[in-house]
């Protein structure tokens, strides 16, 4: 193992790993299985790809955790590189949402597109009431941002009990948010195929909801790692990545609430 050899540099030379090729096979299987299913084929091809991807995620992240716990691999320069990598990943996610917002504004604002609707929401669409579940979900997500910040302060202070409590609260708030969003979708007065408003609404808010789900899973892993004593005052990059991701989810929701829910239904008479 590279970590067993005396190193004269601070960098982590990664050992040969099967996970990149396993992940590639899983992604390809999932894509081909999904296409087959959309062409009226069976679902098992797509599910097989999902299973391979999940297995790859488990094995790869297990190895990363072991490297973090080795005491030799994740040096200060390596941790810095991991932080930069997470920031670049978040920037790439910002680009996804930028595209969704562009589609939304391109359809709703005449100044951006000659094809924009004269009224927004389009005639016949009843938007969701801004100050009910959307506003409640905003309060829930902002509160979760506070609890994850509490967890960050706790890990830096070496307070494992407070860290576990704050992480648990954040996860619970994320699950509650998802429950309210599912209820909101189930009771919406429009469907995905009812026009451009529902399409842009569901793709933007649904993609965000998926990010909340991923973030909650991320924090759940951090919870069990914290309980196992994996994080210290100086080495907790895994938790930092989860916290940054969660704050990113919070900020995106503020934009969604402001523009899609509030501005997008401004002036509508319920």
Q: Are residues 219 and 146 in the same domain?
A: yes
- Residue 112: which pLDDT band, with cuts at 50, 70 and 90? low
Which of 151, 167, 152 has its CA nearest to residue 219? 167
Which of 140, 106, 108 has its CA nearest to residue 121? 108
Does residue 25 form part of some domain?
yes
DSSP string for residues in 99-149: HHHHHHHHHH-TTT-TTS-SSSSPTT--PPPTTTHHHHHHHHHHHHHHHHH
Question: Which DSSP letter does residue 262 get?
Answer: I
pLDDT of residue 1: 47
pLDDT of residue 126: 92
Q: Are residues 147 and 259 in the same domain?
A: yes
Q: What is the pLDDT of residues 211-220, one digit of tens each?
A: 999 999 999 9
Phi, psi of 267, rounded to the nearest 5 degrees = 90, -10
- Residue 101: which pLDDT band, with cuts at 50, 70 and 90? very high
Question: Which DSSP letter does residue 183 get?
Answer: H
Alpha-carbon gap, residue 237 to 139, rounded angstroms: 28
The shares of helix, strand and coil residues in the chain, as percent rounded to the nearest 5, are 70, 0, 30
Q: Are residues 16 and 106 in the same domain?
A: no
Question: What does the pLDDT average to over 167-172?
Answer: 98
CA 147 distance to own-chain centroid: 17
- Residue 116: which pLDDT band, with cuts at 50, 70 and 90? low
Question: What does the pLDDT average to over 164-189?
Answer: 97
pLDDT of residue 106: 87
56-60, 71-75, 233-237: least confidently modelled range: 71-75
Does residue 79 form part of some domain?
yes
45-54, 74-83, 247-256: least confidently modelled range: 74-83
Does residue 53 form part of some domain?
yes
How much is the pTM?
0.89
Q: Is cis: bond before 202, omega within 30 of 0?
A: no
- 12, 74 contact by CB (below 8 A): yes
User: Does residue 5 register a pLDDT over 60?
Assistant: no
pLDDT of residue 269: 67
CATH value at residue 68: 1.10.287.70
- Residue 11: which pLDDT band, with cuts at 50, 70 and 90? confident
User: Does residue 110 register a pLDDT over 70?
Assistant: no
Instruction: Output the six-digit token pair for 29.
Output: 């299987």
Question: Which DSSP letter does residue 74 get?
Answer: S
Which of 260, 2, 7 has its CA nearest to residue 137? 260
Does residue 64 form part of some domain?
yes
Average per-residue pLDDT for the chain = 92
Q: Are residues 16 and 41 in the same domain?
A: yes
Per-residue H/E/C for 198-252: HHHHHHHHHHHHHHHHHHHHHHHHHHHHHHCCCCCCCCCHHHHHHHHHHHHHHHH
Q: Are residues 27 and 107 in the same domain?
A: no
Question: Which DSSP letter does residue 258 get?
Answer: I
Boundaries of domain holding 233: 75-265
Torsion of CA 158, 235, 171, 201, to 10 degrees: 140
pLDDT of residue 250: 97
Q: Are residues 113 and 144 in the same domain?
A: yes
Does residue 270 form part of some domain?
no
- Residue 8: which pLDDT band, with cuts at 50, 70 and 90? confident
């Amino acid at each position: 193992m590279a970590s067993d050899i005396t190193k004269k540099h601070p960098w982590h030379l990664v050992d040969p790993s099967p996970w990149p090729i396993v992940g590639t096979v899983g992604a390809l299987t999932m894509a081909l299985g999904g296409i087959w299913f959309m062409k009226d084929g069976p679902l098992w091809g797509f599910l097989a790809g999902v299973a391979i991807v999940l297995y790859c995620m488990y094995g790869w992240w297990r190895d990363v955790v072991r490297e973090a716990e080795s005491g030799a691999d994740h040096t200060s320069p390596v941790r810095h590189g991991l932080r930069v990598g997470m920031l670049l990943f978040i920037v790439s996610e910002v680009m996804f949402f930028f595209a969704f917002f562009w589609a939304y504004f391109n359809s709703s604002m005449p100044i951006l597109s000659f094809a924009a609707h004269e009224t927004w929401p389009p005639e016949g669409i009843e938007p969701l009431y801004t100050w009910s579940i959307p506003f409640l979900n905003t309060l829930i997500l902002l509160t979760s941002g506070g609890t994850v910040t509490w967890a960050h302060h706790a890990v830096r202070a070496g307070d494992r009990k407070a860290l576990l409590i704050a992480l648990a609260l954040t996860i619970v708030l994320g699950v509650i948010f998802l429950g309210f969003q599912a209820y909101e979708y189930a009771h919406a007065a429009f469907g995905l195929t009812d026009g451009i408003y529902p399409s842009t609404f569901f793709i933007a808010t649904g993609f965000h909801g998926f990010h909340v789900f991923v973030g909650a899973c991320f924090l759940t892993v951090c919870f069990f790692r914290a309980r196992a004593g994996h994080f210290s005052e100086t080495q907790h990059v895994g938790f930092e990545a989860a916290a940054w991701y969660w704050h990113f989810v919070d900020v995106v929701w503020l934009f969604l609430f402001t523009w899609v829910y509030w501005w997008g239904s401004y002036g509508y008479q319920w």
